[in-house]
Amino acid sequence: MDRQFIQRGVTRISMKKFLVWIMPWIVILMIGVYAAFLCLYQGLNQTNMDNRFAFGLWIYLDLTVIALGAGAFFTGFLLYILKRKELKAVINSAVVIGFICYSGAVGVLMVDVGQPIRSWFTFWHPNINSMLTEVTFCFTCYLIVLAIEYVPVILKNRKIKQFSSMLVFEHELHKLIVVFAGVGTFLSFFHQGSLGGLYGVLVGRPFAFRPALGIWPTTFFLFILSAAAVGPSFILLTTWIVSKISGKQLVKQEIMQSLGKISGNLLIFYVLLKTVDTIVWINSTSPSLGFSAATFYRQEEFGTWIMFTEIVLCGLVPALILLNNKLRSRTGWLITASVMACSGIVLNRFVMTIQTLALPTLPFDQFLSYTPSWQEVATFLAVIAYGVLVYSFSYRYLTLFPQERELQSM
Amino acid sequence: MFPWVYGFAWTTGNVIFLGIFFFIVAIIGTTLVVSIFRTVRAYKLHDIEAFRWEVDFHDLPPQLRTCRHEFTGEFKQRSCDNGFDCRSCATQNKLIRHHSVNTDAIELPIHAYGFTIPTDRLYHRGHTWVQGDSFGIYTIGLDDFATRLIGTFDGFVFPEIGSQVQMNGNAWIVKKGGMDLRILSPLDGEVVATNDGSDGWYLKIRPTTAKVDTKHLLREHEVAVWFQREFERLQHRLSDSKIGYTLADGGIPVQDFVKAYPERNWDAILGDVFLEA
């Protein structure tokens, strides 16, 4: 019944099957919206966060999706600025994923801040000494950029492009997309960095505090690099998942390998810098603040295994796999390495957010444990459901993978 | 944020931070306004049909944009980037000068692969043919490949007599099985007559210019190879994917492929054949 809206030359499941697929996600989204409403209406007492544990599941989610969504800016940068033309095959999907990640993060922040009606305060009365101000400004601008980049993808819909004005606007907007790609790269660079810098400046938290390079702590640079490294891996992974669910080849194998190689190159560089940063922290930064680094790993929950897993198992190992031509050419290894790389960054954001706050830093402090309330979990899951829904509709009605038609006709 | 807002201070940090912010906002806003302005200008000045073809052609898979010089054996592999408009192709003359056309290996068939290819007309890549007469009127029809592919039609939407059609623009619409197939015009001109195809033709046009440039249309020695490729692609699309490639065992193409293979994805196949993205 919606055939006229679906890209020519590709096949999609029937409307009935599609409705069956989206229904559970709509239910999850609805429950999450109700939970968010409770938080906004009754206050943040609906959560298990408090003044001591002020960053919880939501901020962790924000940091994670922002890192994974970096594929949008980095793929755009490689395609439009560095002219890596082969990435045209995944740029639309990357833009949609970026839009989902950033809009989801902004949505959760609205609930987390608890006063969305006063969100304009941060712009009207900016505290330029706060990393969060930079994050807020860059987030907002970049979300607008992503929305603009999403517009040509929507206007290319088979039905919409029949309207001449839409077709011309899409064409003219696309011609200037390089400007948005450049602006997006600039904004992403700073807000990814500022998110990392946010932890690096916490002098009262020796576990997270890092020395400054110029005006920024080293976490500023590590967050940028880690996001850029894992972005292509996440694009690769989502493409593979969509391909498996739909049962279709969406991009050529060499594109997947190219994404893997880009990710591998950046990841090995990141692991190198992260290792140097960790060594400096263990031997200099932490002791200078009166703490032996070993004290932070005495808690059973957060032993040294977590550092090993983050840097070696989910950093060095996937980087080496992705840099090996033979292993990279095998889908199993490629996907395994991508999953490991993404997991490494997810773990890194967990460590920086949750572990930092859980560890005691004063003599009378206790190790804090925090379990999110059902409202927090439901809101978290609602963002996932929102992402799945937006992506599902986009995949069904828009051209996310331009090579799909060619590959299906072969 | 602004000097008149409570809490604003003329500090270096404030000026740099807000300066960068306003600069970014200005770039985003200006780019958006420029694209809207250019849209309005293009919409007013541009030939929408040509514009649509340009966009459609750009979105076609590479295997559908094969250069005609592949058909003649001059090149093993070459894609067209010029919307199949050889008239304005900068390399066209150079190619002809540097690569002699290999016509020896190609007979000039009337019948090839079961299709009839009359040699008294020129062919457009959207599967239309065009034939001029002594009065300067050009008749346009569907070639045998397209005719057999579509088979019986459900209806047509023709342009009005006296209206203009443009090369690679919409010539007429064929209705078939709930699909609207856009047939591309091989030439620019004014429509002087329409027909339902019962006499083998659909449209008669009077070209816009006195001297008609037909360099972009295929000649018979190219058409034979082009038909072969189109037919091979069609066979592949119609074949059972579980079996894969099979050796052709002769015979002639059926009169109505759509009817013969109703379960196939005709929306995709016909889109490829009639160059619609």
Q: What is the pLDDT of residues A174-188, one digit of tens each?
A: 999 999 999 999 999
Picking from B1, B28, B62, the nearest residue to A406 by CB comes out as B62
Query: Are B39 and A180 inside 8 Å of each other by CB?
Result: no
Cβ-Cβ contacts under 8 Å, B268 against chain A: 8-11, 405, 408-409
Q: Which two tokens stand for residue A369?
A: 């444990």
A9/B13 CB distance under 8 A: no
Strand partners, B185: B167
Residues 233-272 of B with CB under 8 A from A: 233, 237, 265, 267-268, 271-272
Please indicate whether, in this complex, the C-beta atoms of B14 and A183 are within 8 angstroms of each other.
no
Nearest Cα of chain A lies from the Cα of B58 at a distance, in angstroms, of 11
Listed residue (A280, A277, A345) closest to A313, CA to CA: A345
A3-409 maps to CATH 3.40.50.720: no
* Number of A–B residue contacts, CB under 8 Å: 102
The 10 Å CB-count burial string (b at 16+, else e) for B215-252 is ebbbbbbbbbbbbeebbebbeebeeeeeeeeeeeeeee
Per-residue tens of pLDDT for chain A, all 410 residues: 788 899 888 889 999 999 999 999 999 999 999 999 999 999 888 999 888 788 889 999 999 999 999 989 999 999 999 999 999 999 999 999 999 999 999 999 889 888 878 888 888 988 888 888 888 898 899 999 999 999 999 999 999 988 989 999 999 999 999 999 999 999 999 889 999 998 999 988 999 999 999 889 999 999 999 999 999 999 999 999 999 999 999 999 999 999 999 999 999 999 999 999 999 999 999 999 888 998 888 877 788 999 999 999 999 999 999 999 999 999 999 999 999 999 999 999 999 988 888 888 887 888 888 899 999 999 999 999 999 999 999 999 999 999 998 887 76
Specify the pLDDT at position B100. 52
Contact A168 B265 (CB under 8 A): no
- Strands B170-176, B155-157: pairing is antiparallel
Burial label, B40 (beta-carbon count in 10 A; 0-12, 13-18, 19+): middle
Number of Cβ within a 10 Å radius of residue A239: 23
Interface ipTM? 0.87
Contact A9 B46 (CB under 8 A): no
**Tokens standing for A212?**
């400054």
Q: Return the amino acid letter for A71.
A: G
Interchain contact, B48 vs A168, CB within 8 Å: yes
Tell whether B33 is within 8 A of chain A (Cβ): no
Q: How far apart are the C-alpha atoms of A314 and A178, rounded to whole Å? A: 33
User: Over chain B (277 residues), what is each successive 10-residue block's mean pLDDT?
Assistant: 84 89 95 94 81 87 86 84 85 64 51 81 93 91 90 89 92 87 92 88 90 85 86 80 57 80 82 85
pLDDT value of residue A281: 95
Whether the Cβ atoms of residue A361 and residue A87 lie closer than 8 Å to each other:
no
Q: How far is B104 from chain A (nearest CA, A)?
A: 31
Using an 8 Å CB-CB cutoff, list chain A residues near B39. 165, 168-169, 172-173
The domain locations on chain B are 12-45, 62-229
Q: What is the pLDDT of residue A215?
A: 86
Among candidates A125, A164, A406 on the partner chain, residue whose Cβ is nearest the Cβ of B7: A125
CA distance B153 to B161: 21
Residue A141 to residue B55, Cβ atoms within 8 A: no
Spans of all domains in chain A: 3-409
* Residues in chain A within 8 Å Cβ distance of B54: 171
**Contact flag A171-B59 (C-beta cutoff 8 Å):** no
**Can you give the pLDDT at residue B109?**
52
- Out of A10, A141, A165, name the one closest to residue B28 (CB): A141
Tell me if A409 and B61 make a contact (CB, 8 A cut-off).
yes
- Residue B34 sits at the chain A interface (C-beta within 8 Å): yes
Q: Which residues of B touch A156 (CB under 8 A)?
A: 59
Distance CA B268, CA B277 (A): 9
Instruction: Answer for the pair B127, B273: CB distance below 8 angstroms, yes or no.
Output: yes
Partners of A161 on chain B (C-beta within 8 Å) are: 55
Q: Do A171 and B268 count as a contact with CB atoms less than 8 A apart?
A: no
Name the region of A62 (left: φ>0; alpha: ψ -120 to 50; beta: rest).
alpha
Residue B237 has its nearest CB partner, among A10, A186, A409, at A409
* Inter-residue long-range contacts of A115-123, CB under 8 Å, 24+ positions, other chains counted: A116/A40, A123/B1
Give the chain B residue nearest A9 (alpha carbons). Answer: B268
Whole-number Å distance between alpha carbons of A240 and B256: 38
Question: Is B24 close to A186, i.e. CB distance below 8 A?
Answer: yes
3-state secondary structure chain A: CCHHHCCCCCCCCCHHHHHHHHHHHHHHHHHHHHHHHHHHHHCHHHCCCCCCCCCCHHHHHHHHHHHHCHHHHHHHHHHHHCCCHHHHHHHHHHHHHHHHHHHHHHHHHHHHHCCHHHCCHHHHCCCCCCHHHHHHHHHHHHHHHHHHHHHHHHHCCCCHHHCHHHHHHHHHHHHCHHHHHHHHHHHHHHHHHHHHHHHHCCCCCCCCCCCEECCEEHHHHHHHHHHHHHHHHHHHHHHHHHHHHHCCCCCCHHHHHHHHHHHHHHHHHHHHHHHHHHHHHHHHHHHHCCCCHHHHHCCCCCCHHHHHHHHHHHHHHHHHHHHCHHHHCCHHHHHHHHHHHHHHHHHHHHHHHHHHHHCCCCCCCCCCCCCCCHHHHHHHHHHHHHHHHHHHHHHHHCCCCCHHHHHHHC
* Nearest C-alpha in B relative to A157: B277
Structure tokens at A355: 């572990």
Is any Cβ of chain A less than 8 angstroms from the Cβ of B6?
A: yes
Nearest by CB to B31, from A128, A176, A405: name it: A176
Q: Give residue A27's pLDDT.
A: 98
Residue written as token pair 């500090």: B11
Chain A neighbours among B 40-99 (CB < 8 Å)?
42-43, 46, 48, 51-52, 54-55, 59, 61-63
Q: Which chain A residues are Cβ-neighbours of B18 within 8 angstroms?
A: 126, 128
- Name the one residue in this structure whose structure tokens are 């599902």: A392
CATH number listed for the domain at residues B62-229: 2.40.50.100
Nearest CB to A137; choose among B21, B52, B267:
B21
Query: From CA A102, how far away is CA A191, in angstroms rounded?
Result: 12
Which residues are bridge partners to B131 per DSSP? B139
CB B122 within 8 A of CB B219: yes
Q: Which residue has the tokens 């959560």?
A: A47
